[in-house]
Structure 1
Amino acid sequence: MDYLRTPDSRFERLLDYPFTPHYADVGGLRMHYLDEGPADAAPILMLHGEPSWSYLYRHMIPICAAAGHRVIAPDLIGFGKSDKPTDINAYSYQSHMDWLLSLLDQLQLSNITLVCQDWGSLLGLRLAAENPDRFRAIVVGNGMLPTGDQKVPAAFQLWKNFAIYSPIFPVSRIINSATFRKLGPDERRAYDAPFPNRQYKAGARAFPKLVPVTPDDPATEANRSAWRILETWKKPFLTTFSNGDPITRGGDKYMQERIPGAAGQPHQTLVGGHFLQEDSPVVFARAINDLLARSF
Structure 2
Amino acid sequence: MDTVSADESRFEDVPNFDYDPEYVDTGDAEMAYVDVGAGEETFLCLHGEPTWGFLYRKMIPTLTDRGRVVVPDLPGFGRSEKFTDRGDYTYDRIYDAVETFVRELDLEDVTLVCQDWGGLLGLPVAANNPERFARLVPMNTGLPDGTGGMPEVWHEFRETVETAPDLDIGQVVAGGCATDLDDGVVDAYRAPFPDEDHLAGARTLPGMVPLDPDDEGAAPIADAREKFSDWEKPVFVLFADADPITRPARDDLASVFPTADDQPETWIEGAAHFLQEDAGETVAEEIVAFVDRT
Output the TM-score relative to the length of structure 2.
Answer: 0.97
How far apart are the structure 2 equivalents of 1:28 and 1:238?
32
25-34 or 86-95: bigger deviation: 25-34
Root-mean-square deviation (Å): 1.1
Are the aligned partners of 2:115 and 2:141 in contact in 1 as well (CA < 8 Å)?
yes
Taking the aligned partners of 1:89 and 1:28, their CA distance within structure 2 comes to: 14
For the pair 1:124 / 2:122, whether they are aligned, the reply is: yes
Number of the residue aligned with 2:188: 190
| Partner AA of 1:190 in structure 2 | A
Does the aligned pair in 2 maintain the 1:42–1:110 contact within 8 Å?
no
Kept in 2, the 8 Å contact 1:240–1:270? The answer is yes
* Matches for 1:227-266 after TM superposition, within 5 Å: 227-266=225-264
- How far residue 28 of structure 1 moved from its aligned partner, in angstroms, is 4.3
* Other-structure match for 2:286: 287
Partner of 1:36: 36
Among all aligned residue pairs of Structure 1 and Structure 2, give the percentage whose two residues are the same amino acid. Answer: 37
Match of 1:25 in 2: 25
Deviations 1:151-195 (A, max 9, x none): 221111111222222212110000001111111111011100001
How do 1:59-208 residues align onto structure 2 when only pairs under 5 Å count?
Answer: 59-67=58-66, 69-208=67-206
1:75-124 deviation line (CA, Å, top 9, x unaligned): 00110000111000111111111111111111111111110111001001
| C-alpha distance in structure 1 between counterparts of 2:293 and 2:42, whole Å | 16
Alpha-carbon distance in 1 for matches of 2:104, 2:254: 32
For residue 20 of structure 1, report the CA deviation from its aligned partner: 2.3
SS at match of 1:238: coil
Letter of the structure 2 residue corresponding to residue 62 of structure 1: P
- For each residue in 1:247-294, what CA deviation from the matched residue of structure 2 results, as whole angstroms up to 9, or x when unmatched? 111322222233111012023100211000011111110111111111
| Runs of 5+ consecutive residues of structure 2 not aligned to the other structure | none
Q: What is the letter of the counterpart of residue 30 of structure 1?
A: E
Distance 2:218 2:256 in 1: 18
Opposite residue 6 of structure 1, the aligned amino acid is: A
Separation of aligned partners in 1, 2:285 and 2:64: 11
The residue type equivalent to 1:273 in the other structure is A
Mapped to 1, the partners of 2:198 and 2:253 lie a distance apart of 35
Matched-pair contact (CA < 8 Å) for 2:225–2:256: no
Residues in 2 aligned to 1:24 and 1:255: alpha-carbon distance in whole angstroms: 31
**Aligned equivalents of 2:234 and 2:43: distance in 1?**
14
* Post-superposition CA distance 1:28-80 (Å, at most 9, x none): 42210010111x5331110000110000000101110012x111110001100
**Equivalent residue, structure 2, for 1:9:** 9
**Aligned-partner SS, 2:236:** strand
| Superposed structure 1 runs of 4+ greater than 3 Å apart | none
Q: Does the 8 Å CA contact 2:56/2:276 hold for their aligned counterparts?
A: yes
Is the partner of 2:237 in helix, strand or coil?
Answer: strand
| Count of aligned positions | 293
Amino acid at match of 2:10: R
8 A Cα contact 2:143 2:253, kept in partner: no
Q: What is the letter of the counterpart of residue 233 of structure 1?
A: W
The secondary structure found in structure 2 opposite 1:116 is: strand
Separation of aligned partners in 2, 1:13 and 1:41: 33
Aligned residues of 2:86 and 2:201 also touching (Cα < 8 A): yes
Any idea what SS the aligned residue of 2:262 has? coil
Shift of residue 18, structure 1, vs aligned partner:
1.4
Asked if the contact 1:93/1:210 (under 8 Å) is kept, the reply is: yes
State TM-score, norm by structure 1.
0.96
Partner residue of 1:51? 50
